[in-house]
Amino acid sequence: MFAVAAIMCSLAHVTMAALFIPYLSVSAGVTVAVLLISIFLWVLAMARVRAEAPVRTVVERLRAQAPLLLLPVVILPLFLVGYTAAKTATPLLVGFGWDPFWANADRLIFGDDAWRIAQHLLGVEGMPFYAWFYTMGWGGAFMGVTTAVAINGRPERVGVFYTAMLLSWLVGGWAMAMAFSAAGPVFAPLFQPELGSRFAGIGQAIAANLPAGDSLRLTQKYLAGSVGTHTAVKGGGISAMPSMHLAAASIYVIAARRTFWLVPAVLFWAMIFLCSAYFGYHYWVDGLAAAAIAAGCWFVAERLFEGAAEASGRAQA
DSSP-derived secondary structure for 33-68: HHHHHHHHHHHHHHHHTT-S-HHHHHHHHHHHHGGG
What's the first-to-final CA gap in the chain, in angstroms?
A: 36
Rounded to whole angstroms, how far apart are CA atoms 13 and 229? 10
* pLDDT for 228: 87
For residue 248, the one-letter residue type is A
**Residue range of the domain that includes 168:** 2-316
* pLDDT for 103: 96
For all residues of the chain together, what is the average pLDDT? Answer: 94
The β-bridge partners of 15 are: 231
**How many structural domains is the chain composed of?**
1
Which of these, 9, 77, 84, 103, lies nearest to 235 by C-alpha position?
Answer: 84
Mean pLDDT of 68-73: 96
Whether this prediction's pTM lies above 0.85 is answered by: yes
What are the CB-based long-range contacts (under 8 Å, 24+) for 103-108? 103/185, 103/188, 103/195, 103/198, 103/283, 105/283, 105/285, 106/277, 106/283, 106/284, 106/285
* pLDDT for 307: 73
* pLDDT for 194: 93
Q: What is the DSSP letter of 303?
A: H
Mean pLDDT of 209-234: 92
* pLDDT for 88: 95
The pLDDT tens digits for 102-159 are 999 999 999 999 999 999 999 999 999 999 999 999 999 999 999 999 999 999 999 9
Alpha helices in the chain (DSSP H): 2-12, 20-48, 54-65, 70, 76-94, 99-110, 114-122, 127-132, 138-152, 155-170, 177-179, 188-191, 196-209, 215-226, 244-255, 262-278, 284-316
pLDDT band at 53 (very low <50, low <70, confident <90, very high): confident
Q: How many residues does the chain have?
A: 317
Which of these, 143, 122, 172, lies nearest to 279 by C-alpha position?
Answer: 122
Rounded to whole angstroms, how far apart are CA atoms 167 and 220? 27
Which of these, 82, 103, 270, lies nearest to 183 by C-alpha position?
Answer: 103
pLDDT band at 311 (very low <50, low <70, confident <90, very high): low
The pLDDT tens digits for 85-105 are 999 999 999 999 999 999 999
* pLDDT for 316: 59
DSSP-derived secondary structure for 97-126: --HHHHHHHHHHHHSS-HHHHHHHHH-STT
Q: What is the DSSP letter of 187?
A: T
pLDDT band at 52 (very low <50, low <70, confident <90, very high): confident
The pLDDT tens digits for 205-214 are 999 999 999 9
* pLDDT for 38: 95
pLDDT band at 309 (very low <50, low <70, confident <90, very high): low
